Homo-oligomer: A and B are copies of this chain.
Amino acid sequence: MPPRRLTVSAMARPRGRDSDDESNNDNILRCLSCQEEYDTDDLGTCRECYLEVHETEEDLKSQIEDLKSKLSFLKLPSPILNPYSTDLILLPADEPSPAPIPAHKSVLVSRSPVFKAMLENDMTESRSGTIKISDVSFDTLRAFINYLYTAEAPLDNQLACNLLVLGEKYQVKHLKAHCEQHLIAGMNWDKAIENYAFAYQYNCKQLQQVSLEVIMDNMPSLTQNEYYAVLVDSNPRLIVDIYESYLIKQINSAGGIRL
């Protein structure tokens, strides 16, 4: 069906259409935003709301620019590239000949309550100016320290997991949430059980919830998932949780089933 043609005022017409315009007689509904014709089935907003939303959008974009500029101002240079006035060394303790990573006590203390307790009190690390961190590679530790200075990390799935573990250990909530969102964005059935177990271990409520939803959507394939057998051996209690959730879902959706 072609668009219905109705009389509209000059206010609603695109700019450049005046009484001399040859198409002036085409009195049609025309969108102020995309300038396309539309019919009454496709009505959106009135003129006032359009102008208001347009203003809001400009305002939000301007806020974003301000915030980006502040962020760029507040970012600190990586101490690995620029170790000026560093007063601390971090070592990935399990590496055979660990390369030291320099840092500033003041930055670590401001980002992590665990580092704060460690460094502000008279503990070994504070006195020696060295923190040994186990179960971590040089690359992960470097990415962790860089994040504390810049709030940025070039995440892939593995690095997101590794940094989330450090985020949990050192209570760097912002980093942990950043990694959790990365894992949620990359979620699929292949990763769902593994992510579910990981989220349980490191206390990531949202990741655990999203993983469980994906598992619930794929219950007929549950036992074929590569990670199922691993989890049955390593943490059968979590597998029981999955089955219990499934049962509750069944009961709720069927309005009660016979057991």
Contact = CB atoms under 8 A, between A and B. Distances in A.
Interface string A19-48: 000000000011111101010111111111
A241 interface: no
Counting every copy of the chain, the complex holds: 2
A117 interface: no
Contacts of A76: 74, 106-107, 110
Q: Is the interface of A mostly helix, strand, loop or mixed?
A: helix
A36 B47 CA distance: 11
Nearest to A41: B9
Contact of A45 (B33, B40, B73): B33
Contacts of A177: 69
A216 interface: no
A219 interface: no
A47 B53 contact: no
Interface stretch (A83-91, A187-195, A228-236, A249-257): A83-91
A60 B64 contact: yes
A150 to B, nearest CB: 8
A67 interface: yes
A61 interface: yes
A185 interface: no
Given A12-B43, A53-B54, A70-B174, 19 more contacts: A7-B40, A31-B45, A38-B47, A44-B44, A44-B45, A57-B60, A60-B61, A60-B64, A67-B68, A70-B71, A71-B71, A72-B174, A73-B174, A74-B75, A74-B76, A77-B110, A84-B105, A85-B109, A106-B107
Interface of A: 6-9, 11-12, 29-34, 36, 38, 40-51, 53-54, 56-57, 60-61, 63-64, 67-77, 79, 84-87, 104-107, 109-111, 119-120, 150-151, 174, 177
19 contacts: A6-B40, A9-B40, A12-B40, A31-B44, A32-B44, A34-B46, A42-B47, A43-B47, A44-B45, A44-B47, A53-B53, A53-B57, A64-B67, A67-B68, A73-B151, A76-B107, A84-B109, A85-B109, A85-B119
